Structure 1
Amino acid sequence: MTNRQSSAEPGLQWELSGFGDEIDADPIIQVAVLQSLGASAIEVRSAWGTNIVEMSDEQVGALRDLFRERGQTVSAIASPIGKVDVALPVDHEVARLRRAIDAAHVLETRYIRVFSFYRAPERSAEEVRDEVLVRMRALAEVAESEHVVLLHENEKEIYGDVPSRVLDIVESVGSDALRLAWDNANYVQCGVRPFSDGWAPLAPYVDYLQVKDAVRATSEVVPAGEGDGELLDTVTALRDAGYSGYASLEPHLTDFTSLGGFSGPAAFGRAARAFRALTEQIGVTLR
């Protein structure tokens, strides 16, 4: 038995989830594929071709009924909050966050994924820092009042794309309602060695693992463990810290844009099997 295996706590389990709309636009198919892969949860970004913050109350209610009927829990609302130019008024994203929060309450999840704003090409990260922090604080204050937790995702080309600026956001805002979703592939695409360069300072704030990998030389997104994202180091550190939360598959293996990605059932299954091979290697069970 290797050292990585021997450190595992007996019976340590993580909740396997995934972005349902990377499988299909139909939520029935989303749930069927996720359950076939052993995932007990789903991360909701869109269904029927409609983003979660644009759905009607009736659509959100239909999702709730479907998930309850099929025994599928919701790990997070994968909102697009913060994937806009920082020059927009503060209230623009606060209003959209309130819609995401309504959906979170109906779908019975406490987590909402957010981002930390794009900027115009002529503006540096340093120039927009204060504007970003004002907006992130405003979002966190709403989350606090609604008893939900925002998960900041490190996404390329937003303010919080590299570890130093992600740390700046979470420490400057200083709210228990703002935590981190960790994405190894996105760091690779920003020229970062995720575990080596960022894990130690950011680990205390990580509440959620978003699963995909990438190749440094080409930025190609690949299944977990097949790229330069240091996934094995990351999951081993999570295991050793006693992590027992969600691991959410976002494979991006067929197509992706700034607003999301797609894999299809077959490629999604390949990504799930690759990640399960990693967790089996370290003695963690996915459910």
Structure 2
Amino acid sequence: MRVITQHRLGGPEVLTVVDAPEPRPLPTEVLVRVKAIGLNPLEARLRAGEFPLIGPPPFTLGWDISGVVDQAPQTWRFRPGDEVFGMPLFPRAANAYAEVVSAPALHLAHKPASLSYAEAAALPLVGLTAWQGLVDLAGVREGDRVLVHGGGGGVGHVAIQIAKALGAHVITTAGRGKRAFVEGCGADEVIDYTSVDFTEAVHDIDVVLDTIGGDTAERSLEVLRRGGHLVTAVAEEDTELAATYEAAGRHFSGIAVDPDPVALRSLAALVEEGSLRVHVQKTFPFAHAAEAHRLLDHGHLQGKLVLTV
């Protein structure tokens, strides 16, 4: 099989397509013939060596996959021929930039028929982050006022749709060029962060989901009602900021996403009922991973990038 690997840290040019033996599934694992691979900004940071989540090179990046089960020894969850998607093993290396992946059956779900393989591969990491943040941590309910920072990005555009499905009034920050996009995702109000200070535009927010970082999490304290909740996917280890929130009578939670079969099936159910779609900005052939990473490095994406196999 072909695998995209790297033997040194650096720019997109370090990604190399090589031949490798197919993995062998362990009991309770399935062998997946990969059809598409979702790319995430985290992978660009790992490629460049910004932090050693999966150790030093050589390594193979990637977690988000969709494909077809080829082998399913000693598991009742799937059969050969099943179409699946998921985010196996995160944050341990899943070696998902590959034509074949061995994954725990518990970390996968049946692919919704209405999603293409590319769309299904784009959903797991961003969808699970949004679901775990809004549902599991913040407990968003009907009528809540939810502010999603970065609504045009991968996590953000999915979070808008999940919050709307929960019955929330959703406000989001986004650049002027993404206004129509986030409104199409269901945003009730859009704040153009390039010209408007969100702390002056909104107040009495029940839940803030931060996907931006910087001072966004700190300044979000000003817009939360007493008892409100900040969930951040960026400043999750900022203990000083957490203490500031608690002292002000607000809740602070950091979200570090993990594989979650219940949430994955819940995302699939939202897709099947027509309440959730994931936007794929662009797809790239498998061998063009370096080209895809150049766009990933550029940032300011609208939705997700995907490799097709």
Q: TM-score range, shorter-chain basis?
A: under 0.3
More strand as a share of residues = 2
Q: Which protein shows a greater Rg?
A: 2
Calculate the TM-score normalised by the size of structure 2: 0.26
Determine which structure has the larger helix proportion and give its number.
Answer: 1
